[in-house]
Structure 1
Amino acid sequence: MSELSHQTPLAGVEAPAGLAVSLREVTGQGMIDLRGLAADAAFMAGARTALGFELPVRPRTTATAGGVTALWLSVDQWLILCPRTNTADILARLGAALTGVHALAVDVSDMRAVIRMEGGGAREILMKGTSLDLLSAGIVPGFCKRMRFAEIAALLHVVDDNVFDIYVFRSYARYAWDFLCATAKDQARVRLFGPQPAPV
């Protein structure tokens, strides 16, 4: 009998030369869709027991501890990120801690592709595909937001000052990758609202 094998949406795809930033697929990422009511003390306590930290309750924020991160998606939804090898264990802990509580926890690790863009000018490149103002003061490490990117649904997570993870549904992975490769070409670089060189 043949063995099951996992293949990421962008397996074998490499970024072309001549990009203004670094671009790669994030592999080995486990994802759990967690739903419940933030106003339910039993749900929040159970999630804290299973994850080891409080779920973020402020819009567009994240919380991290022990290699696990929770991204706030809505008033009753969080995306739990962890190493893929730990997904089953964390899912089991959530199930045990939330027994009898109105909640849902589902492994969605294969639902999305994760593309990481890193480097100076990444914000300007991303803004070629979204109306979100990534130059505003509130877009700091830890920020996350669902957005329309290149006309598709996406999720943005600011990992660090110049490090951005873009989550897209698996079926759109190659489209999003090609869009980023095209808009990130060094000759297409733009510098918004910054000092401009004096004319010669």
Structure 2
Amino acid sequence: MAEQVSPLGPAWMPGRHGRADGEAGVVLTETRPGSIVQAAAFPGSEKAIIAAIKKAAGLSLPDGAGGGIATDTKAAFGIAPGRFLVVDQSEGLADRLRAAIKPAEGAVTDLSHGRTAIRVSGPHAEWVLAKLFAIDLDPTAFPLGAGRATQHHDIQAHLHRTAPACFDLYVFRSLARSFWTMLCHAAEEVGYDVR
């Protein structure tokens, strides 16, 4: 397999940026998972899709909008009623999901080549993301495992809280460089490391 080329191009500059004193407020990383897949349930088939995700990805999703789960290598979360984003560090997830979902239950869309995955972590992750998205990021409103579909101006994003101070974001690949640049500007105030 050929190495995946980052859409961030020259905007990707590893190292410390922004405020230089003290520890960095956030760490920004492009994670490059092998599979990013949307599973959508047809009306009345939500439980069947949740069961198919468990079979294909080994992830037990909570039943309910916005819930999710993350491990070191996989993640799944609700992005809308009956719609889930499922991520795996390895390739082939779309085929496994298609095999687990009956045609009458739902549809699978492989988004792997159309999305870029960015991780924002650190003590000021919520602060930086709150500058960009008009959603409540407090852990009481956006708990561990939860996911949200949102946007900043015309850039749509899916956010997933994968740890207490860590969010994974999925944005359109064609807009990733623009979003990354905006994210870096938002993080300058607290200082950020690119890894």
TM score, norm. by length of structure 2? 0.78
For the Cα contact (< 8 Å) 1:36–1:76, is it kept in 2? yes
Task: Confirm whether residue 75 of structure 1 aligns to residue 81 of structure 2.
Answer: yes
Q: Is the 8 A contact 2:70 2:162 kept in 1?
A: no
Specify the SS of the correspondent of 2:17: coil
Secondary structure, counterpart of 2:76 in structure 1: strand
C-alpha distance in 2, partners of 1:39/1:21? 41
The one of 110, 115, 119 aligned to 1:116: 119
1:92 is the counterpart of 2:95: yes
Aligned partner letter, 1:35: A
- In structure 2, do the counterparts of structure 1 residues 168 and 91 end up closer, same or farther at CA, with 3 Å as the change threshold? closer
Match of 1:196 in 2: none
For structure 2, the 5+ residue unaligned runs are: 20-24
Q: Work out which of the residue numbers 29, 36, 58 in structure 1 matches 2:64.
A: 58
Counterpart residue identity of residue 8, structure 1: S
Take 1:70 and 1:136, find their aligned partners in 2: how far apart are those partners?
A: 18
Contact 2:76–2:84 (8 Å) recurs in 1: yes
For residues 102-181 of structure 1, what are the structure 2 equivalents within 5 Å?
Answer: 102-135=105-138, 137-181=140-184
Alpha carbons of structure 1 residues 53 and 112: separation in structure 2 relative to 1, 3 Å: closer
Whether contact under 8 Å (2:116, 2:170) holds in the other structure is yes
**52-61 or 115-124, larger mean C-alpha shift:** 52-61
Report which stretch shifted further, 15-24 or 125-134.
15-24
| 2:36 corresponding residue in structure 1 | 31
Structure 2 counterpart of 1:193: none
Query: Highest relative contact order (Cα 8 Å, sep 6+), 1 or 2?
Result: 2
CA RMSD of aligned residues (A): 2.8
Q: Which amino acid aligns with 1:14?
A: M
Amino acid in the other structure paired with 1:71? F
TM-score (structure 1 length as normaliser): 0.77
- How many residue pairs are counted as aligned between the two chains? 184
Query: Contact (CA 8 Å) 1:68, 1:81: kept in 2 or not?
Result: yes
- Matches of 1:158 and 1:55 in 2, distance apart? 14
Partner SS, residue 105 of structure 1: strand
SS in structure 2 of the partner of residue 94 of structure 1:
helix
Mean alpha-carbon deviation: is it higher for 168-177 or for 9-18? 9-18
Q: Distance in 2 between matches of 1:153 and 1:51?
A: 25
> 1:36-94: per-residue Cα shift (whole Å, max 9, x none)?
237336555444433334444311111357943221112221111111x3x32x33332
**Structure 1's 104 and 145: CA in aligned 2 closer, same or farther, altered over 3 A?**
same
8 Å Cα contact 1:52/1:65 also seen in 2 = no
Pick which of 129-138 and 42-51 moved more: 42-51
Structure 1 gap ranges (5+): 190-200
Q: Whole-Å Cα distance in 2 between the matches of residues 68 and 167 of structure 1?
A: 14
- Give identity over the alignment, percent: 26
Task: State the distance in 2 between where 1:54 and 1:187 align.
Answer: 36
